[in-house]
Amino acid sequence: MKKLIILTIIILASVGLKAQNAAPKFTVTPSDIDALTENVTIVFDVTGSAVEGVTDIYIWAWGEGLNPAEMLLCYDEGSPSWGSISKNAKLDPVAGEPNKRILKLPKTVTRAGTTVTFNNVAELFGVGDTPGKIKKFGFLLRSQDGSKQTPGDMATSVTLLPLEFEASYFRTFPAKVSNKDVVTAYLNLNLLESSEDQKLKIAGKIKASISLLTTNGTKILTTELMSTTYTAQGEYAVSFLPEKLGTFPTGTSISNVAKCQLVFSGEVYEQGGTAQLVNTKTFEFEFQQYE
């Protein structure tokens, strides 16, 4: 009987420890943001975490590679201090959802006696003039006195879309697009992947074939061999407006388009002067919902 009681205590203690170590769930809207994205909303669900049941929940956040690293909401002036978190860092409740809190941008606060509005993540971390400096930020949720807190060490973090040009084998601009946006797709053969036909490195007359697909992968239409341009960054680029790529089959329209596939191809001349067509793999990306 004594062993059973001890075992029960151990199990209960283990369950309690897991609850204390549980990271809060959170959602960011829009789902993909960069340092300058405005009208960002982050909703936190503290169910099962160390701060569940705490009335006033604060956010303590830090930007990776920044100095000082802490979000400006966390302190009013001088240097950030864990022991004296600013009231500006208190998260707003979500009506009818006792375990949820929210942070919405723009956010207007009084800081060091001055009214300040933070419109985006860069401004929240004091790098509004150099937004490319912040690429990721971590956070934890805590009580005002810090006696209760969710895990730190980047257990919860948000990775931002890059603002600066980053070379890659294939990319699109914008990085996230709707089916009603003008899309530019880029191919960088200087970064040719090892699994590709290496003849592409010496290919000329690079063209792109573009297909529009439904959610389940059914091709609606394909436009073959569109011309590309060569950019100063050493990429082949093709721009297109999805709804102008071609004539949609009867009963379909741009509203049915959920995905896009691209295949780049080029010509390689063999010793006899015969042109051989070489293709890249198929690149695919999904369109975001148009607003």
Instruction: Note the pLDDT tens digit of each residue in 233-254.
Output: 899 999 999 999 999 999 999 9
Query: 3-class SS at 242?
Result: helix
Instruction: Note the pLDDT tens digit of each residue in 1-12.
Output: 554 444 444 444
Averaged over 212-240, what is the pLDDT? Answer: 94
Instruction: Note the pLDDT tens digit of each residue in 87-104.
Output: 999 999 999 999 999 999
Domain segments of the chain as ranges:
25-159, 170-286
What's 103-124 look like in SS3?
Answer: EECCEEEEECCEEEEECCHHHH
Token pair 């949820």 is at which residue? Answer: 100
What count of other Cβ atoms lies within 10 Å of the Cβ of residue 120? 19
Token pair 């800081």 is at which residue? Answer: 111
Measured between alpha carbons, how far is 132 from 161 in angstroms, rounded to an integer? 10
Choose among 276, 171, 146, 278: nearest CA to 233.
171
User: Does residue 19 carry a pLDDT above 50?
Assistant: no
Phi, psi of 202 (to 5 degrees): -115, 10
Give residue 20's pLDDT: 54
**Which band of pLDDT confidence, cut at 50, 70 and 90, is reported for residue 115?**
very high
